[in-house]
């Protein structure tokens, strides 16, 4: 039986490379040990100490179709996110409790519920874009974050939020910002750095912001408990109504942790993808021309469900997530019973993760993989283990449908109605932002003004920018 190998040398130095330059870490390892390799420096505290990464679609299929049998999805291994999300979030729990929590939250981001958000997303996009006067420079990542935060805020809390909502959003943005660079992301990877050295120290500031945010979230929960309103369809109302088998409701701490999870996971990721899409559409003007031709061809009566089904827009979104997957790895899975994978024997206790970043750079799947080419998604149908930005199996992203719907409507609205240009001709590169990858410089752009387009249903929301 073959022995699994991985990068050699000091585990500590490898870990530093993983934190400060994760792309080099992954690409160097894959170049030496294609398809599957040992990555023990990543830690995760599995019973055997072994950590394996794989980019091969067959291995991903095997892993993600049996991650409730041969493999498990231990929530405790996601402890890196505990300072943000607490330990009762869907990401931290496991087994039956995890499966039930997913069933509870999932419907809010799918089907009919999703359709209700269409007008809202277009409305929010116009409102945010209209705050940028013609000639003004801005960072696309900031603008897309403002949009996605507002969208997730409305889906989680509903459309009638009280006076504290502005402060909650400010605190969420400030807390997420602590992890914006590889250096500050180290706080997550080295718990020993998580020291409160007073209100001006980075961690001290974070702890105080979290305390204030907790108070606001607990107050919102108490207010809703005191005034139940069966007509509300937002996620908080639904979580408040949920009962377990013993008829018990979720505790305040469980509710707080779930709200934090959905608010964070629900806006940081989508914001990054939308910023990258704006970057590529302006960096490769032929893709912009092709997209505008498709958007302008929509008949004036077209509604946003038609926008959602546009093939080239879909290809642009997919190619953006292909070339820049926000999440480099799936959450960890653990081998429960000895298993063969790609000719190797994996022992119980081995931790294994899908390396989506590497799968998306495979030349055998994506020829000229460094090129942004939306057409590849029109020319070929990729399997869910070849194109895998949202992971799969037992922990597949809960917000996938909302994220895809949102990014299409936001991009269609921005591209159809506003003229933007890149301010920096240098290529934008990805770098670590917490546990994700995001554009290093945030995609610097300038607002050139409104764009005239054939009349469509989107027109009704348009108010000219100054």
Residues at the site binding ligand HEM, with contacts judged by CB under 6 A: 90-91, 102, 109, 152, 261-262, 265-266, 269-270, 273, 326-327, 330-331, 389-393, 395-399, 402-403
Nearer to ligand HEM, 90 or 365 (CB): 90
Cβ distance to ligand HEM smaller for residue 280 or 298: 280
Q: What is the dihedral of CA 433, 402, 258, 205, to 10 degrees?
A: 30
CB of 393 to ligand HEM, least distance (A): 6
The CB-of-392 to ligand HEM minimum distance in angstroms stands at: 5
Least distance (Å) from ligand HEM to the CB of residue 386?
Answer: 15
Quote the crossing angle between the two packed helices 118-129 and 400-417, to the nearest 10°. 50
CB of 331 to ligand HEM, least distance (A): 4
- Could you give the 3-state DSSP secondary structure of residue 189? helix
Q: How far apart are CA 249 and CA 231, in angstroms?
A: 19
The distance of Cα 88 from the centroid of its chain, to the nearest Å, equals 20
228 backbone dihedrals φ, ψ, rounded to 5°: -65, 140
Closer residue to ligand HEM in complex, CB, 132/257:
257
Report in angstroms how near the CB of residue 427 gets to ligand HEM at its nearest: 22
| CA-CA-CA-CA torsion sign (259, 262, 265, 267) | negative
β partners of residue 419:
449
Token pair belonging to 81? 């996110």
Collect all residues with Cβ–Cβ distance below 8 Å to 46 and sequence separation of at least 6. Answer: 77, 332, 334, 349, 350, 351
**Dist CA 302 CA 294 (whole Å):** 12
Nearest distance, CB of residue 150 and ligand HEM, angstroms:
13
Question: Which of residues 387 and 390 has its CB atom nearest to ligand HEM in the complex?
Answer: 390
**Cα–Cα distance measured from residue 366 to residue 406, given in angstroms and rounded to the nearest whole number:** 26
DSSP-derived 3-state class of residue 281:
helix
* Residue whose CB is less far from ligand HEM, 266 or 430: 266
Nearer to ligand HEM, 22 or 266 (CB): 266
Q: For residue 418, what are the β-bridge partners?
A: 450
User: CB-wise, 132 or 258, nearer to ligand HEM?
Assistant: 258
Which residue has its beta carbon closest to ligand HEM? Answer: 399
Q: What share of the chain is helix, strand, coil (3-state, %, to 5)?
A: 50, 10, 35
Between 91 and 298, name the residue whose CB sits nearer to ligand HEM.
91
Cα–Cα distance between 330 and 354 in angstroms, integer?
5
Supply the minimum distance, in Å, between the C-beta of residue 182 and ligand HEM: 19
**Residue 134 Cβ, how far from ligand HEM at the closest point, in Å?**
30
Report, in Å, the least distance between residue 327 CB and ligand HEM: 4
Nearer to ligand HEM, 392 or 439 (CB): 392
Take residue 103 and report the two structure tokens written for it: 């069933």
């Amino acid at each position: 039986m073959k022995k699994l190998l991985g990068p050699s040398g000091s585990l500590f130095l490898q870990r530093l490379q993983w934190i400060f330059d994760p792309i080099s870490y992954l690409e160097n390892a894959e170049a030496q040990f294609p398809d599957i390799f040992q990555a023990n420096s990543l830690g995760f505290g599995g019973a055997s100490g072994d950590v394996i990464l794989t980019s091969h679609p067959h291995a991903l299929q095997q892993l993600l179709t049996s991650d409730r049998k041969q493999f498990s999805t231990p929530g405790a291994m996601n402890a890196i996110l505990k300072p943000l999300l607490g330990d009762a979030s869907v990401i931290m729990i496991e087994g039956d409790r995890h499966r039930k929590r997913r069933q509870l939250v999932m419907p809010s981001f799918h089907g009919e519920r999703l359709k209700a958000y269409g007008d809202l997303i277009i409305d929010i996009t116009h409102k945010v874009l209209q705050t940028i006067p013609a000639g003004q420079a801005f960072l696309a990542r900031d603008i897309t974050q403002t949009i996605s935060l507002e969208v997730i805020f409305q889906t989680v809390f509903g459309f009638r939020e009280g006076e504290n909502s502005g402060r909650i959003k400010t605190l969420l943005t400030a807390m997420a910002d602590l992890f914006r660079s590889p250096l500050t992301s180290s706080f997550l990877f080295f718990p020993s750095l998580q020291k409160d050295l007073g209100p001006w120290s980075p961690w001290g500031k974070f702890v105080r912001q979290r305390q204030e945010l907790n108070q606001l979230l607990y107050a919102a929960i108490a207010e809703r408990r005191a005034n139940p309103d069966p007509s509300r369809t937002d996620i908080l109302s639904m979580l408040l109504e949920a009962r377990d088998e013993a008829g018990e409701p979720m505790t305040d701490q469980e509710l707080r942790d779930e709200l934090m999870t959905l608010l964070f996971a629900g806006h940081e990721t989508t914001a990054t993808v939308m910023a990258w899409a704006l970057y590529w559409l302006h960096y490769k003007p032929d893709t912009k021309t092709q997209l505008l031709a498709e958007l302008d061809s929509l008949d004036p009566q077209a509604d946003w469900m038609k926008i959602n089904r546009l093939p080239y827009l879909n290809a642009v979104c997919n190619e953006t997530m292909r070339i820049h997957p926000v999440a480099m790895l799936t959450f960890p899975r653990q081998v429960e019973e000895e298993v063969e994978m790609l000719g190797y024997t994996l022992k119980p206790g081995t931790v294994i993760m899908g390396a989506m970043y590497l799968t998306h750079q495979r030349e055998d799947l994506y020829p000229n993989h460094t090129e942004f080419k939306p057409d590849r998604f029109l020319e070929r149908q990729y399997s869910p283990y070849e194109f895998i930005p949202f992971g799969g199996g037992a922990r597949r992203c809960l917000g996938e449908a909302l994220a895809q719907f949102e990014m299409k409507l936001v991009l269609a609205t921005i591209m159809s109605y506003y003229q933007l240009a890149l301010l920096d001709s240098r290529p934008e590169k990805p770098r670590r932002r917490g546990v994700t990858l995001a554009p290093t410089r945030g995609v610097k752009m300038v607002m050139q003004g409104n764009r005239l387009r054939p009349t469509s249903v989107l027109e009704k929301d348009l108010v000219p920018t100054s």
